[in-house]
Chains A and B, each alone.
Chain A
Amino acid sequence: MRWVWFHKLGSPKYFYFWSKPLALPLFFLGCLCLVVGLVWGLAFAPADYQQGNSFRIIYIHVPVAMLAQSCYFALGVAGFVYLVWQMKIAPIFIKSMAPIGAVMALIALVSGAIWGKPTWGTWWIWDARLTSVLVLFLLYMGIIALQNALDDLVLANKATAVVSVVGLINLPIIKYSVVWWNTLHQGATFTLMEKPAMPAAMWIPLLICVVGLYCFVASLVLWRMQSEIMQREHRSSWVKQEVMYNNGF
């Protein structure tokens, strides 16, 4: 197998032109899936026999919580790629992804609190899942703070990559430490191998929401990366040409 395509993606210029036509279709696909999934889930899916209509927040909570974890995994992989292969695109990805991940973790926390009030009777408890998502949010904020504090670009690249990798190693430890410490949250909604425990009319819209949010976030990341590439490479001639072309010169 040839890896040329993969190495090419490490170059900002190639990545910019490769990703440019991808972002908009992904954005529309994501929006479409989210609208379909949310309307289906919120208005047409059957109510839960125990939780009634309050369970419907699952159509926001679960996709967002999945994204919050996936984003951190992606950050860790990007950090590893940067530290090992010094690919220029990896720190750009980390910088673009961290705020999105932070927002996802925050929405997961807030929607979980709103869900917890009618079902558990409390906004917040020191439960395993809740605590580990809180830690995840704090890790994101730490990376963002570090990125903003360091003016030197090379140092900022290295620093965020190091923290991402250390976080990747530590995240399972944090997760299992709080799981053994305290647990109330229900188990995973989706697992790869097993059929979901709820009826199809409930989980199909949820799956559509999850896919939609993945596409949505991917398009946002691509856009943020494109503008970050433009900023970092503003001295190169291809960026000048691109800006001229976009402005109709």
Chain B
Amino acid sequence: MDLTYTPAQKAFRTKVRAWLKDNVPKERLKSYDTREGFEQHRAWEALLAGAGYSAVMWPKDLGGSGCDLTEWLIFEEEYWAADAPARVNQNGILLLGSTIMEFGTPEQKARFLPRMARCDDMWAQGWSEPNAGSDMAAISSRATRQGDKFILNGQKIWSTRAIFADWVFGLFRSDPTSSRHHGLSYILVPLNTPGITVRPIRAINGREHFAEIFFDDVEVSAENLIGAEGKGWHVAMATAGFERGLLLRSPARYQRSAQKLVDLYLRNQADADRDHSIRDAVLRAWQGAEAYTLSSYHTVGRLNKGAQIGAEASTNKIVWSELDILINETAMRILGQRAELIDDEEANDWLEGFLFAQAGPIYAGSNEIQRNIIAQRMLGLPKS
């Protein structure tokens, strides 16, 4: 155990910090759930990509910086500490990008990844269907093979930012005789293909956060198939692993929120201390963010030594989603009556965080599903 950074890691931190200091937009960007905000975020991420920072762990020739996991953690610490904008293309870069890196052909990597890193293409995730939420193996949208094409029919739902995105990656049933997780294929589809209709759904904050996507005889080239035909479940589970595990939610994000919470508490201490359980919640928020960070570094250390991380990723998902609720809920308690005010900028940031935190235990595989996975795969208990 050696918990000091190497000179090279320190130098990397210094370099990243300096770049962010010079480049992070001075004006806050608009919400990426609006057209204008979405384009602002796209421009920011293109700038990031220019420095190799939009997907730091990707190889340089694909638009990254070739960082290892420890450098990634350092990058994220600097990124959140600098209050740089939240990432709008993480579905693409973290989920699909990681998947293509693992399952894509060399042609697919060269075709999709550099464009993704620059945000030339923005990606939506098309997994959920009206009757296939937690039970994703119930997917019924079809992909019918015709020579070197697939014809897609069916419906996806809850697809985040699909109204602004350029592409969607989704799971389709390509073997009509199959059931459950067999016979599914993982296919990439341009959203401007004829036959696609994207209909926005307003989320709890009133904005058009996600969308339904309808496929009506949509033709797509078989070159857009990731992994083997009919083996899409296997590919998707790897993506889900990235989503729940280390990458989607880097710990620095919660450390920064906890830091802001400490700050908010200190500035409102006289009022907040009317209820001593608030101070306790602030301390617990710090503890949770720190424990999550330490766990991530521990996992990275184990991965560096060749360990495989499997179902344990599910514990991560539960921890970050519940931590996010604790942090934001505590801020709401400190703000008291200010908390509801939409025009109060500081209060509204927390309110938006509070609202989004409510979704954490639902998306990326609900926390109940994660608990099932832990019990059945880590502890070996039988299915009911």
Partners in one complex: no
Seen from chain B, the residues whose Cβ lies within 8 Å of a Cβ on chain A are none
